[in-house]
Structure 1
Amino acid sequence: MPIRIDNQLCYFMLDDNRQEQSVPATRVTVLTDTEKSMSYVELAAERIYITEAEADALTVAGAHDGRQHVKAEEPGSLI
């Protein structure tokens, strides 16, 4: 899991060194990459892709929910 939340502070793992950067949840916006149909946050000019469970947890902690709900337009699509 690339994020953890503790007392409305979000900790994001930015690189393979396992170093974390903390940000107050109120300064985080959860967005949608419509091409990948995935949620992400931008931090330090980097996209961090997250699961829907992580996105929901961030919004509960106070992050802004800027997600777009993507729906399938092709027959047989998983979304």
Structure 2
Amino acid sequence: MPVQIDATTHRCTLIGAERTLEAEGVQIEIITDEQLRMSVALLEDLRVPITEAEADALTVAGARDSRKHLKASVPGSVI
């Protein structure tokens, strides 16, 4: 799991491929990566792809939710 959240302190740990960062939940931003078609947690220059459940948990810990909904624009799209 690329995200660990301490529910008591709202300190969050993002685990990337090459490094791990820890911060208060309010320092994290959640965006939608249109190429990956999934949510990504941002902290400093670390980008960690996350599930929607992890994104929701981060917002509870105070992360800024900048996700946007993607819409199907091509017939037969998986979205």
TM-align CA RMSD = 1.6
The one-letter code sitting in structure 2 at the alignment partner of 1:26 is: V
Q: For residue 67 of structure 1, what is the aligned residue in structure 2? A: 67
Structure 1: runs of 5+ lacking an equivalent? none
Q: 2:16 — aligned with what?
A: 14
1:23-56 Cα deviation digits (max 9, x unpaired)? 1001111011112211102234131110111111
What is the number of equivalent residue pairs in this alignment?
Answer: 77
Amino-acid identity (%): 44
SS of the residue aligned with 1:69?
A: coil
Show structure 2 runs of 5+ residues with no match: none
TM-score (norm 2): 0.83
Which residue does 1:43 correspond to in 2? 43
TM-score normalised per structure 1? 0.83
Once superposed, which parts of structure 1, at least 4 consecutive aligned residues long, lie more than 3 Å away? Answer: none
